[in-house]
Structures are given as C-alpha cells and as structure tokens.
Homo-oligomer: A and B are copies of this chain.
Amino acid sequence: MIDCGEGTQLQMRYSRQGFARLGHIFISHLHGDHCFGLIGLISTLGMLGRGHAATLHIHAFPELETLLRPQIDFFCKDMEYEVEFHPFAPDTSEVIYEDRSLTVTTIPLCHRVPSSGFLFREKPSARHIRREMIDFYHIPVSQINCIKNGADFELSDGSIVPNDWLTTDPSPSRSYAYCCDTAPRTEIIPLIEGVDVLYHDATFQADDLVRAKKTFHSTSVGAATIAAQAGVKRLILGHFSARYDDEKKLLEEARSIFPATELATEGLSIQI
C-alpha cells in the first residue's frame, strides 16, 4: 500500500481489498492526508486477529515512528503482531525494499515538506521454455531451471543446443512510479524513464500555475511534460484540488502534451 489517509480502512472494505495480504505500507510524506489512516488500520488489523507471524512493515521518514509509536503502544496494547518501521532519507534515491521479484526505490520529490515518490520495478523474470523443443531433445527436468535462466544444453554427442532454440524471451518486467505531492522535478526523469505507469501530482489546471508553484504542487501540464520527457507508457493524474467541479480540463490539458493520460478517479483499478 502506498500512503494511508484517514478512512483508508473503510475504502479497503468498499473495494473488497483483503486486509490479510497487506504486508508493507510506503508513506510518501508526513501530511495528514497521507498518513492519518495508519493508526486506525493498524488497530483494526489487530482486532481482526492478525497473528504474530505477520509483521506489518511501514516505510517512511524517521519522524513517523516517533509520532505513531506512542499511539500504537497505547491503543494497540493487546495486539499480537508487530509493527516495524523502516526509515529512509528524503534526499537520496535508494532501494528500500527488495524481494525475489520486486524492488522499491525512493524518488526524492520537491514539496513544502520532505516528500518521496516510489518506483516499483519487477525483476527480470525467467525465459519461457519452448515445451516442444525440450521434448524433442529429451532434456531432463533437472536442467529446466538453468535453461530458463539462459543456459545452453549439451547433447550426449557433445554438440550444443543454443538457449534461444529452447526458450523465448521472458515477459517484460513491469514498473510503476508514484510521484504524489510534488512540483514538477526534472531530476526524477532518469529514475522513472520508460516506466509502464506514472502516477503524478496534478493538483491544478495550467492557468493556476502560480498557485501550483506556491504550494509545491504540479499542474496538468507540468505532470504531462514530465511524463513525455521520461518516455513513460501511461500517465495517471491525481491529487486534484477541490476547487474544480470536475477534472475534465486537467485531463484535456495533459493529453494535449501526453495523450496516454488518465484521471485517478476514486476506486480506479489499473492492470499493469
């Protein structure tokens, strides 16, 4: 989960997201609309009986633990599971999470307070086996993993079957960059270059540029320009100011620069 404003647990229920699968929460910055829902969610997970094996990991700037730990200690005394904080620095890009299939890297942003984006990048997956070739050469099961990882195969007569006769290219690795609450910042472009989906702050319309600069947010045009310069595949605009009745104009403005743009409407679900 990325960010956790007030009412997040309710939104999870509405959208039928399971609570049990939640293992890591990444908090972009310490404004209330991005973290006031944590204590309620943590408390509810405890009451739902989350067990001691299921530590909840929160990745955030160091101040969050100082602010939240006393509340957890007071309100969640009887909770079985642990909440573990993983602090990271706001000013350098670093890998803050890694598992077998994924890395999460911070993207330093530019806001009124320290703010960080997150890049989720799948690790390259294994090559696809061509089943008919494996059968043809009678390749034993024990060799399959090596071949998936790129190895050639040696026949009993010493001749070599090259890997690309036996496999096809792996599925491309997917990537998602989340850059909320920021002014447009060209320094992020090398980090997010070519990502499948970029979520970017687009709080204001183009004609509210002065307000955007003052509050360290982006306009539709600012977001779309970053997307175009970074050559991302799709752009999702979000964090709209409440001053607009609808966000149609934001969308049009962004699409004039970067056509593959969508609005992050409530409950939107995207397949990457």
Contact = CB atoms under 8 A, between A and B. Distances in A.
Interface of A: 6-7, 9-10, 30-32, 36-37, 39-40, 43, 63, 66-67, 70-71, 74-75
- Which A-B residue pairs are the 4 nearest by beta carbons? A6-B40, A32-B43, A7-B7, A36-B40
Given A30-B75, A32-B43, A75-B32, A6 B67 contact: no
Contacts of A74: 30, 63, 67
Given A32-B75, A43-B32, A75-B30, A37 B6 contact: yes
16 contacts: A6-B6, A6-B10, A6-B37, A7-B7, A7-B10, A30-B74, A30-B75, A31-B75, A32-B40, A32-B75, A36-B40, A36-B43, A67-B70, A67-B71, A70-B70, A71-B71
Contacts of A6: 6-7, 9-10, 37, 40
Interface centre among A32, A40, A66, A71, by most chain B C-beta atoms within 10 angstroms, is A32
This protein's copies in its complex? 2
Given A6-B9, A32-B40, A36-B39, 5 more contacts: A6-B7, A30-B74, A36-B43, A63-B74, A67-B71
A7 B6 CA distance: 6
Contacts of A32: 39-40, 43, 75
A9 B70 CA distance: 24
Nearest to A77: B113
Contacts of A39: 32, 36
A195 to B, nearest CB: 31
